[in-house]
Amino acid sequence: MSLVNVVHAQSQLVTKGECEIFHIPPTQISIESCENQVFYPTSTITGGESTIEWNVSNLSDLYVDLSSLWLNIRMQILRSDGSEPTTRTPAIVEDGVFPVNNLGAALFKYVNVYLNQRLVSSNCLNSYRCMLDTLLHTNPCVQRTVDDCAMYIHDPGENGPLDNQSKSIRARINRTKGGKVFEILVKVNTDITNQSKLLLPGVDLRIVAQHNTDAFRLLTFDTETRKHQIKFLNAALTLRKVKVSHSTFLAHQKELRSRPACYVMRGLESKVRSIAPGSLDTTIENLYNDRVPDRLTVVLVSTESFQGNLKLSPFWFEHFNISSASLTLDGYRKQYTYDWENDLSREAYFSLLSELNEKHVELSYHKYKHNSFIMHWNLSADESNASSYFSPIMKKNVRIELKFAKPLSKAVSVILISETPRILSVDGDLVVRID
């Protein structure tokens, strides 16, 4: 090879993939086959504020792909007395009722996951966790395809004041009007189902989900006075079971004699704080006084919509004329400032995108300003979103201070969702532990 003038003496010489004309990809031999299995609830699916439960017994030698869990739910919107939401005068007039945007996220108040009767994933604010994942951690292609199955209709004007000309609202009305049956397909979004490792055979899976109220899941126009309900007709849980090769199975069993199988989970924790009407500022002391989370996401919603109001979307994240938001770690402060009146808040918007370290966030400044105001702090040591390594544990006191340019005209709920990696382990006796 002739001498090459390299940029740096330590730069290694390589060949490009296009020139690897003799290379053949390797063949995986650990997985022999996969099959999807469907499980139906062991409890009633009537709705209200009851729970739905699915049980997956795994006594065979098959592994479970936890990342494959998704729900197929068929339902219809009816009047509270069970009749169709239409009036004949003699023309047919549909009631002015429709689902919130991202109905799949709004369906359940919490989703708990149990492995061998051990609670391993619990999320009391499941709806907000799912909605924030849609806004911050899914790319535009997914939002327009997969999330459409959960009835998330991408629209810059969504979640704001109810406008019957909104593209999103019209699409949701067309899919659900007249009491017709429609379906929602949504991924089971929990700590343990957001990782790709296969669950060992012999570990039973149990999922318990509590319904949100219909006032949280439905919206109506101002002219609509009738009461409505969502009636569940079917709720099927689908997951993938995997058959591994005999040699892989034996290798796992041998390794389990000396150490447990480990699964890294996101470890999300949700909290809610309230701000009284007329307030100009609020301070949340001792938010975390032990282990500092790697990430913290904060949104503001009116308490009325948070509790469920047919005229207000629970996913309308307002800024409420906030002027500054600061997070303090034992004296070290990370602060954002805002000036909405003069449209000087783009620095905070840019900081949000930087802290997220996401390259494909579909969150325009217009949407951020009008109906999806989100605050986010990356608190990891290197401020990255790397999933291939952990950041050192920091034990500090966390405090948040919010200031507003004008007194609040209504009560506001502060929703805080933190992310701290956790490790779930399963030993040779199939005992489940969380470190």
Q: How many CB atoms lie within 10 A of CB 237?
A: 22
Measured CA to CA, the distance from residue 355 to residue 375 in angstroms comes to 10
Contact call for residues 322 and 404 (beta carbons, < 8 A): yes
Q: Summarize pLDDT for 138-164 with one digit per residue, the tens.
A: 777 777 777 789 999 887 655 566 777
**17 part of a folded domain:** no
**433 part of a folded domain:** no
Q: Which of 81-85, 105-109, 240-244, 371-375 has the lowest mean pLDDT?
A: 81-85
**Whether residue 272 sits in one domain with residue 159:** no
Structure tokens at 149: 């199955």
**Whether residue 317 sits in one domain with residue 290:** yes
Contact call for residues 149 and 184 (beta carbons, < 8 A): yes
Contact call for residues 199 and 239 (beta carbons, < 8 A): no
Identify the pLDDT of residue 161.
62
**Whether residue 163 sits in one domain with residue 209:** yes
**CATH no. for residue 121?**
3.90.249.10
Q: How many CB atoms lie within 10 A of CB 382?
A: 10
**Whether residue 211 sits in one domain with residue 186:** yes
Counting Cα atoms < 13 Å in the Cβ hemisphere of 235 gives 25
**Whether residue 337 sits in one domain with residue 237:** no
The tokens 């012999």 sit on which residue? 202
Q: Which residue has the higher pLDDT, 158 or 12?
A: 12
Going by C-alpha positions, the residue among 229, 237, 235 that lies closest to residue 99 is 229
**234 part of a folded domain:** yes
Contact call for residues 36 and 243 (beta carbons, < 8 A): no
- Read off the pLDDT of each residue in 362-387 and give the average, rounded to a whole number: 86
Q: For the chain, how are helix, strand and coil distributed in percent, rounded to 5?
A: 20, 40, 45
Measured CA to CA, the distance from residue 234 to residue 244 in angstroms comes to 32
**Whether residue 336 sits in one domain with residue 192:** no
pLDDT band at 2; cut points 50, 70, 90 = low
Alpha carbon 221 to its chain's center: 27
**425 part of a folded domain:** no
Contact call for residues 95 and 80 (beta carbons, < 8 A): no
The enclosing H or E element of 416 equals strand 412-419
DSSP codes joined into one string, 307-375: H-BTTB-TT-B--TTEEEEEEEETTEEEEEE--TTTT--HHHHHHHHHHHT-S-----HHHHHHTB-EE
**250 part of a folded domain:** yes
Identify the pLDDT of residue 320.
97
**Whether residue 288 sits in one domain with residue 225:** no
**Whether residue 348 sits in one domain with residue 209:** no
Contact call for residues 99 and 219 (beta carbons, < 8 A): yes
pLDDT band at 91; cut points 50, 70, 90 = low
pLDDT band at 90; cut points 50, 70, 90 = low
Q: Summarize pLDDT for 121-130 with one digit per residue, the tens.
A: 887 899 999 9
Answer positive or negative: Cα dihedral of 428, 429, 430, 434.
negative
**Considering 261, 286, 307, which residue would you say is the last residue of a domain?**
261
**Whether residue 285 sits in one domain with residue 245:** no
**Whether residue 273 sits in one domain with residue 242:** no
Measured CA to CA, the distance from residue 233 to residue 374 in angstroms comes to 35
**37 part of a folded domain:** yes
Give the mean pLDDT of the chain: 90
Look up residue 82 and give its amino acid: G
Identify the pLDDT of residue 13.
86
**Whether residue 278 sits in one domain with residue 244:** no
Identify the pLDDT of residue 158.
54
**Whether residue 185 sits in one domain with residue 288:** no
pLDDT band at 47; cut points 50, 70, 90 = low
Q: Which residue has the higher pLDDT, 45 or 284?
A: 284
Q: Summarize pLDDT for 258-304 with one digit per residue, the tens.
A: 999 999 998 999 999 999 999 999 999 999 878 899 999 999 999 99
The tokens 């669950």 sit on which residue? 199
Contact call for residues 266 and 194 (beta carbons, < 8 A): yes
The CA-CA-CA angle for residues 132, 136, 137, to 5°, reads 105
Phi, psi of 186 (to 5 degrees): -140, 140
Domain span at 110? 31-261
**Considering 236, 261, 286, which residue would you say is the last residue of a domain?**
261
**70 part of a folded domain:** yes
**CATH no. for residue 288?**
2.70.9.10
Identify each DSSP E strand in 40-62 by its residue range: 51-56
Going by C-alpha positions, the residue among 323, 349, 302 that lies closest to residue 405 is 323
**Considering 240, 261, 282, which residue would you say is the last residue of a domain?**
261
**24 part of a folded domain:** no
- What domain count does the chain have? 2
